[in-house]
Amino acid sequence: MDTIDKKITALLAEDARRSLADIGEAVGLSPSAVNERIRRLTASGAIKRFTVDADHAALGLAVTAFVLVGLDYDAGEEAFKAFVSAHPSVAECHHVTGGWSYLLKVRLADLAGVEAFLGDLKARRFLARSETMIALSTAVERGFTPAED
């Protein structure tokens, strides 16, 4: 992963539909060389996948909420992870330092959906305690974060 690979990744993160010729021009390589680098970046997992950023509100998921979870360890940590992995509303689940076990980011249609989701977590006995923060607005949300120079 050299400077050129990083530049290619950044260019693709910005617009994955750019042609190999365009990228090549930006980094000073032929289309074939760029193609070969992208193949390697994808094969090595540095590029996980080509995707689209969707507007969740347009898809009917207007509410983003963060749930701080104090896990009830009787329920089983693996069971919890399996549950959140399988749950379509869970966008992120991080094991975190501090007073809470996990931080979840969930996307739901409305506040009733948030309530139902929390009810589900509670019914499954995953929660010893929890705290929910609703996102009122989002100032920044980018998948790609460039390294600082």
Partner DNA sequence: AGTGAAACAATAGAACT
Partner DNA sequence: AGTTCTATTGTTTCACT
Residues that bind DNA (CB under 7 A): 4, 19-21, 24, 28-33, 35-39
CB within 8 A of 56, min separation 6: which ones? 62, 64, 107
Burial class of residue 80 in the structure, from the number of CB atoms within 10 Å of its CB (0-12 exposed, 13-18 middle, 19+ buried): buried
C-beta closer to DNA: residue 23 or 61? 23
Other C-beta atoms lying within 10 Å of the C-beta of residue 114: 20
- By CB under 8 A, tell whether 2 contacts a copy of itself: no
Q: From 24-32, 87-95, 121-129, give the range in contact with a copy of itself by CB under 8 A.
A: 87-95
Residue 3 found at the interface with a copy of itself (CB under 8 A) = no
CA–CA dist 12, 48 (Å, integer): 12
Using CB under 8 A, which of 2, 3, 51, 74 touches a copy of itself? 51
Judge whether 110 and 90 are in contact, CB under 8 Å.
no
Binding-residue total with a copy of itself (CB under 8 A):
66
Contact footprint for a copy of itself (CB under 8 A): 1, 6, 9, 12-17, 44-56, 58-61, 64, 66, 81, 84-85, 88-98, 100, 102-103, 107, 109, 113, 131-148
